[in-house]
Amino acid sequence: MVAIATSFSAAAAVAVARRSSPAHLQLVARRRLPFCTAASSSTVPPAAAAGFGWADALRVASEFGVGDESDLSGYFQKVDICNRGMGNKGEFVEFMVEDQVVGYIHKGFTEHLRDFHDVFTIVSGSNGKNSVEHVTLHSSLRTPEDRTIAIGDVIKGLGELIPGIRNELYPVTSSYGMPVYFSLERAAAPYFGIKAYGVHMNGYIEKHGEKSLWIGKRSDVKQTYPGMLDHLVAGGLPYGISCKENIIKECEEEAGIPRSMSTNATSVGAISYMDINGFRYKRDVLFCYDLRLPVDFVPNNEDGEVDSFRLIPVPHAANIIRRTDFFKPNCNLVIIDFLFRHGYINPDCNGYLKLLTSLRSGDCS
Amino acid sequence: MVAIATSFSAAAAVAVARRSSPAHLQLVARRRLPFCTAASSSTVPPAAAAGFGWADALRVASEFGVGDESDLSGYFQKVDICNRGMGNKGEFVEFMVEDQVVGYIHKGFTEHLRDFHDVFTIVSGSNGKNSVEHVTLHSSLRTPEDRTIAIGDVIKGLGELIPGIRNELYPVTSSYGMPVYFSLERAAAPYFGIKAYGVHMNGYIEKHGEKSLWIGKRSDVKQTYPGMLDHLVAGGLPYGISCKENIIKECEEEAGIPRSMSTNATSVGAISYMDINGFRYKRDVLFCYDLRLPVDFVPNNEDGEVDSFRLIPVPHAANIIRRTDFFKPNCNLVIIDFLFRHGYINPDCNGYLKLLTSLRSGDCS
pLDDT digits (tens, 9 = 90+) for A69-115: 789 999 999 999 999 999 999 999 999 999 999 999 999 999 999 99
The amino acid sitting at A361 is S
Q: Angle formed by the axes of helices A73-81 and A314-323, to 10°?
A: 70
Whether residues A108 and A161 share a domain: the answer is: yes
Question: Using CB atoms and an 8 Å cut-off, which of residues 321-340 of chain A contact chain B?
Answer: 340
In this structure, of A34-48, A150-164, A307-321, B249-263, the range with the lowest mean pLDDT score is: A34-48
**Going by C-beta distance under 8 Å and a sequence separation of 6 or more, which residues neighbour residue A222?**
A47, A305
Q: Which pLDDT score is estimated for B66?
A: 63
Q: Which of the residues A346, A349, A361, A365 would you substitute to probe the B interface, choosing the one with the greatest number of B C-beta atoms within 10 Å?
A: A346
Asked if A348 lies within 8 A of B242 by C-beta distance, the reply is yes
Write the DSSP string, B207-238: ETTEEEEEEEEE-TT-SSSTT-EE-SEEEE--
Whether residues B172 and B201 share a domain: the answer is: no
Whether residues A272 and A301 share a domain: the answer is: yes
Q: Which pLDDT score is estimated for B29?
A: 37
Whether residues A252 and A351 share a domain: the answer is: yes
Mean pLDDT along residues A346-363? 96
Cα three-residue angle B90-B92-B94, rounded to 5 degrees: 115
Q: Sorting pLDDT into bands at 50, 70 and 90, what band is B200?
A: very high
Asked if A342 lies within 8 A of B244 by C-beta distance, the reply is no
Mean pLDDT along residues B27-47? 34
What is the share, in percent, of chain B residues with pLDDT greater than 90?
A: 78
Q: Sorting pLDDT into bands at 50, 70 and 90, what band is B327?
A: very high
Residues of chain B contacting residue A271, judged by C-beta atoms under 8 Å apart: none
Whether residues A47 and A166 share a domain: the answer is: no
Task: Kindly report the nearest CA distance between residue A238 and chain B, in angstroms.
Answer: 14
User: What is the Cβ-side half-sphere exposure of residue A280, based on CA atoms within 13 angstroms?
Assistant: 26
Q: Which pLDDT score is estimated for B322?
A: 95
Whether residues B73 and B140 share a domain: the answer is: no
CB atoms within 10 A of CB A114: 10
The H-assigned helical ranges of chain A are 10-19, 54-62, 73-81, 107-113, 144-158, 243-255, 259-262, 314-323, 329-341, 352-358
Q: Is the pLDDT of residue A32 over 60?
A: no
Asked if A348 lies within 8 A of B244 by C-beta distance, the reply is yes
Q: Is the pLDDT of residue B46 over 80?
A: no
Spatial separation of the C-alpha atoms in residues B81 and B73, rounded to whole Å: 13
Q: How do beta strands A280-292 and A195-207 pair?
A: parallel
Residues of chain B contacting residue A365, judged by C-beta atoms under 8 Å apart: 353-354, 357
Last residue of a domain, one of A143, A161, A191: A191
Spatial separation of the C-alpha atoms in residues B286 and A111, rounded to whole Å: 49
Task: Kindly report the nearest CA distance between residue A13 and chain B, in angstroms.
Answer: 33
Q: Which of the residues A263, A287, A346, A353 would you substitute to probe the B interface, choosing the one with the greatest number of B C-beta atoms within 10 Å?
A: A353
Q: Which pLDDT score is estimated for A131?
A: 87
Spatial separation of the C-alpha atoms in residues B270 and A15, rounded to whole Å: 38
A144 dihedral zone (left: phi>0; alpha: psi -120 to 50; beta): alpha
Whether residues B81 and B93 share a domain: the answer is: no
Q: Is the pLDDT of residue B302 over 70?
A: yes
Residues of chain B contacting residue A342, judged by C-beta atoms under 8 Å apart: 266, 268
Spatial separation of the C-alpha atoms in residues A353 and B11, rounded to whole Å: 43
What are the backbone dihedrals phi and psi of residue B4, each rounded to the nearest 5 degrees, phi first?
-85, 130
What is the share, in percent, of chain A residues with pLDDT greater than 90?
A: 78
Per the model's pLDDT, the better-predicted residue between B94 and B26 turns out to be B94
Asked if B176 and B185 touch (Cβ cutoff 8 Å), the reply is no
Query: Scanning every residue of chain A, which has its alpha carbon at the shortest distance from the alpha carbon of B265?
Result: A343
Q: Is the pLDDT of residue B182 over 70?
A: yes
Task: Tell which residue, B97, B86, B96, has the closest CA to residue B134.
Answer: B96
Q: Is the pLDDT of residue B61 over 80?
A: yes
Domain assignment present for A245: yes
Domain harbouring A295, CATH code: 3.90.79.10
Mean pLDDT along residues A1-11? 34
Q: Is the pLDDT of residue A237 over 80?
A: yes
Q: Is the pLDDT of residue B185 over 90?
A: yes
Mean pLDDT along residues B350-361? 97
Domain assignment present for A179: yes
Domain harbouring A117, CATH code: 3.30.750.160
Domain assignment present for B365: no
Task: Kindly report the nearest CA distance between residue B80 and chain A, in angstroms.
Answer: 18
Q: Is the pLDDT of residue B13 over 80?
A: no
Give me chain A's average pLDDT, please.
87
Asked if A266 lies within 8 A of B356 by C-beta distance, the reply is no
Q: Which pLDDT score is estimated for B223?
A: 85
Q: Sorting pLDDT into bands at 50, 70 and 90, what band is A138?
A: very high
Task: Tell which residue, A273, A282, A292, A275, has the closest CA to residue A341.
Answer: A292
Q: Which pLDDT score is estimated for B50?
A: 80
Mean pLDDT along residues A332-352? 97
Per the model's pLDDT, the better-predicted residue between B2 and A282 turns out to be A282
Asked if A353 lies within 8 A of B365 by C-beta distance, the reply is yes
DSSP state of A157: H
Q: Sorting pLDDT into bands at 50, 70 and 90, what band is B67?
A: low
Spatial separation of the C-alpha atoms in residues B219 and B227, rounded to whole Å: 5
Task: Kindly report the nearest CA distance between residue A264 and chain B, in angstroms.
Answer: 10
Q: Is the pLDDT of residue B7 over 50?
A: no
Asked if A268 lies within 8 A of B175 by C-beta distance, the reply is no
Number of domains present in the structure of chain B? 2
Q: Is the pLDDT of residue B47 over 60?
A: no
Q: What is the pLDDT of residues A218-230, one digit of tens each?
A: 999 998 999 999 9
Q: How do beta strands A92-97 and A132-137 pair?
A: parallel
What are the backbone dihedrals phi and psi of residue A360, each rounded to the nearest 5 degrees, phi first?
-120, 50
Last residue of a domain, one of A191, A209, A234: A191
**Going by C-beta distance under 8 Å and a sequence separation of 6 or more, which residues neighbour residue A209?**
none
Long-range CB pairs of A132-136 (<8 Å, 24+ gap) are A132/A93, A132/A107, A133/A93, A134/A93, A134/A94, A134/A95, A134/A96, A135/A93, A135/A94, A135/A95, A135/A96, A135/A105, A135/A110, A136/A95, A136/A96, A136/A97
Write the DSSP string, B322-365: HH-S-B-HHHHHHHHHHHHHTTSS-TTSTTHHHHHHHTB-S---
Q: What is the pLDDT of residues B116-175, one digit of tens each?
A: 999 999 999 876 567 899 999 999 999 999 999 999 999 999 999 999 998 989 999 999
Last residue of a domain, one of A147, A169, A191: A191
User: What is the Cβ-side half-sphere exposure of residue A354, based on CA atoms within 13 angstroms?
Assistant: 16
Establish if A244 touches chain B: CB-CB under 8 angstroms: yes
Whether residues A46 and A161 share a domain: the answer is: no
Task: Count residue pairs from A and B with Cβ separation < 8 A.
Answer: 86
Spatial separation of the C-alpha atoms in residues B266 and B282, rounded to whole Å: 26
Asked if B348 lies within 8 A of A266 by C-beta distance, the reply is no
- Residue A346 has its nearest CB partner, among B176, B244, B353, at B244
Whether residues B75 and B212 share a domain: the answer is: yes
Whether residues B92 and B81 share a domain: the answer is: no
Domain assignment present for A364: no
Q: What is the dihedral of CA A352, B94, B146, B153, to 10 degrees?
A: -120
Q: Is the pLDDT of residue A64 over 80?
A: no
Whether residues B79 and B206 share a domain: the answer is: yes
Q: Which pLDDT score is estimated for A127?
A: 66
Q: Is the pLDDT of residue A2 over 80?
A: no
Write the DSSP string, A17-84: HHHS-GGG-------SSPPP-GGGTT----SS--S--HHHHHHHHH-TTSS-TT--HHHHHHHHHTS-
- Residue B347 has its nearest CB partner, among A243, A357, A365, at A243
Domain assignment present for B161: yes
Task: Kindly report the nearest CA distance between residue B220 and chain A, in angstroms.
Answer: 32
- Residue B342 has its nearest CB partner, among A243, A266, A352, at A266
Spatial separation of the C-alpha atoms in residues B238 and A148, rounded to whole Å: 57
Q: Is the pLDDT of residue B30 over 60?
A: no
Establish if A365 touches chain B: CB-CB under 8 angstroms: yes
User: What is the Cβ-side half-sphere exposure of residue B26, based on CA atoms within 13 angstroms?
Assistant: 13
Q: What is the CA radius of gyration of chain A?
A: 21
Q: Which pLDDT score is estimated for B326?
A: 98
Domain assignment present for A3: no
Domain assignment present for B364: no
What are the backbone dihedrals phi and psi of residue A12, each rounded to the nearest 5 degrees, phi first?
-65, -40
Q: Which pLDDT score is estimated for B239?
A: 81
Residues of chain B contacting residue A353, judged by C-beta atoms under 8 Å apart: 175-176, 270, 285, 364-365
Spatial separation of the C-alpha atoms in residues B57 and B75, rounded to whole Å: 17
Q: Which domain holds residue B131?
A: 88-191
Q: Which pLDDT score is estimated for A238?
A: 83
Domain assignment present for A1: no
Whether residues B120 and B216 share a domain: the answer is: no
Q: Is the pLDDT of residue B27 over 80?
A: no
| Burial group, residue A234, by CB count within 10 angstroms (0-12, 13-18, 19+) | buried
Give me chain B's average pLDDT, please.
87
User: What is the Cβ-side half-sphere exposure of residue A321, based on CA atoms within 13 angstroms?
Assistant: 34
Predicted-assembly ipTM surpassing the 0.90 threshold: no
The H-assigned helical ranges of chain B are 10-19, 54-62, 73-81, 107-113, 144-158, 243-255, 259-262, 314-323, 329-341, 352-358
